[in-house]
């Protein structure tokens, strides 16, 4: 039990806070739905319930992924967070389907709902709480990718540019609460339209759009974590480490450099070329120096370095030029 508690302390804090907040929101929305029968509130209840369950799974998965390697699993448990996220999106997928189905039913057979004050009060409180969680996730993104951001406006803007490089758990919380905040605002607009213009279908339309937003999160999370579970190469970290290694005065070239993302961690395999006159003792010192530098990068947990004799061919520089050309073509 003590080991489990120590692991849980290392879990993703954004996911834990989001799970707790969304649990409270789901209860409030559920009470409002049972009191008023509002279909947009039904959609929001399922949305918050799915987010809460998902984020609890993410928190537990991110904590367990920190478990030390064992004889049975010598590579560690880094990819466990990806597997947990793949399972968690199934919950959101089912709730997305139910939300869209209920929305279409309301569009075809619109009914009048009561309790506008209750619905709007609960939704307003939910939007405020979800905005708070979203901003916390934004701050976590900026921190994880080492982006300097001073002030709330800078955090919001720069978190979007750094989202791709954030940890899987933080990225999920960010996307879910962004959709949740937008869904809450959409539900408020739909309720106002239904009550003041008698456009009853507005609540059903809002429910469908909320469900589609949930499906978007499901798709993004599934694709990214399927790649992570298989062992996805991280191109940005590879370029960063390669550039750093080439600055070492004794390194002549890089024959091979693989940076594999395993959950929130990076596994680095490196083969560098040295001059033929380098002794074993000198090579060992170079290896220690390179390993120490690579381990300074956030998230690197495993480094394997091999040496080869310099063949006089600039292998790494050719790869860099090719990458620059590819980036120019994309632009």
| CATH code assigned at 245 | 3.30.70.1350
Question: Do 183 and 318 fall into the same domain?
Answer: no
In this prediction, residue 158 has a pLDDT band, given cuts at 50, 70 and 90, of: confident
Cβ atoms of 272 and 305 closer than 8 Å? yes
Cβ atoms of 205 and 214 closer than 8 Å? no
In this prediction, residue 318 has a pLDDT band, given cuts at 50, 70 and 90, of: low
The CATH number given to whatever domain includes residue 222 is 1.20.1510.10
Instruction: Give how far Cα 107 sits from Cα of 141, 194, 208, 224, 289, Å.
Output: 38, 12, 9, 34, 66
Question: Do 245 and 193 fall into the same domain?
Answer: no
Distance (Å, whole) CA 10 – CA 3: 11
Is residue 224 predicted with pLDDT exceeding 80?
Answer: no
Q: What is the mean pLDDT of the chain?
A: 81
174 Cβ partners below 8 Å, 6+ apart? 14, 134, 137, 138, 141, 159, 163, 166
Is residue 322 predicted with pLDDT exceeding 60?
Answer: no
Domain stops at, among 212, 230, 248:
230
Question: Do 49 and 106 fall into the same domain?
Answer: yes
**Chain segment 44-91, per-residue pLDDT in tens:** 888 788 778 878 887 887 787 777 777 777 767 777 777 777 777 787
Question: Do 166 and 304 fall into the same domain?
Answer: no
Cβ atoms of 15 and 62 closer than 8 Å? yes
For residue 270, give the nearest of 297, 72, 279, 79 by alpha carbon.
297
Question: Do 239 and 226 fall into the same domain?
Answer: no
Question: Do 250 and 138 fall into the same domain?
Answer: no
Question: Do 286 and 199 fall into the same domain?
Answer: no
Paired tokens of 128:
């405020």
Mean pLDDT of 208-224: 83
**Chain segment 95-139, per-residue pLDDT in tens:** 788 888 888 888 888 877 677 888 889 889 989 988 888 888 888
For residue 13, give the nearest of 129, 141, 183, 130 by alpha carbon.
141
Q: How many CB atoms lie within 10 A of CB 83?
A: 17
Question: Do 225 and 240 fall into the same domain?
Answer: no
Domain stops at, among 170, 197, 230:
230
Question: Do 224 and 242 fall into the same domain?
Answer: no
Total of domains in the chain: 2
H or E segment and range at residue 187: helix 168-196
Looking at the whole model, is its pTM more than 0.85? no
What residues make up the domain containing 258? 235-330
Domain stops at, among 230, 262, 281:
230
């Amino acid at each position: 039990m003590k080991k489990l508690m120590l692991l849980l302390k290392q879990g993703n804090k954004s996911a834990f806070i989001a799970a707790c907040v969304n649990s409270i929101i789901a209860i409030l929305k559920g009470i409002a739905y049972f009191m008023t029968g509002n279909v947009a509130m039904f959609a929001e209840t399922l949305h918050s319930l799915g987010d809460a369950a998902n984020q609890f799974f993410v928190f537990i998965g991110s904590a367990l992924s920190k478990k030390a390697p064992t004889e049975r699993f010598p590579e560690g448990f880094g990819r466990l967070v990806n597997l947990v996220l793949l399972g968690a999106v199934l919950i959101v997928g089912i709730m997305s389907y139910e939300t869209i189905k209920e929305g279409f039913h309301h569009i075809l057979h619109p009914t009048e709902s009561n309790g506008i004050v209750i619905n709007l009060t609960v939704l307003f409180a939910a939007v405020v709480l979800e905005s708070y969680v979203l901003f916390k996730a934004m701050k976590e993104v900026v921190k994880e990718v080492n982006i300097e951001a001073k002030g709330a406006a800078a955090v919001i803007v720069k978190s979007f540019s750094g989202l791709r490089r954030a940890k899987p758990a933080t990225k999920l919380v960010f996307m879910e609460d962004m959709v949740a905040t937008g869904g809450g605002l959409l539900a408020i607009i739909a309720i106002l339209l239904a009550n003041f213009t008698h456009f009853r279908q507005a609540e059903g339309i809002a429910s469908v759009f909320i469900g589609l937003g949930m499906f978007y999160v499901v798709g993004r999370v599934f694709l990214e974590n399927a790649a992570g579970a298989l062992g996805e190469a991280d191109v940005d970290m590879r370029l960063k480490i390669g550039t750093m290694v080439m600055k070492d005065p004794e390194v002549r070239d890089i024959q091979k450099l693989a940076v594999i993302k395993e959950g929130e961690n990076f596994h680095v395999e490196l083969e560098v070329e040295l001059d033929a006159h380098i002794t074993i003792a000198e090579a060992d010192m170079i290896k220690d120096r390179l390993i120490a530098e690579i381990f300074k990068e956030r998230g690197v947990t495993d480094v394997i370095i091999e040496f080869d004799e310099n063949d006089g061919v600039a292998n790494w520089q050719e790869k860099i030029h090719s990458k620059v050309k590819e980036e120019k073509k994309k632009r």
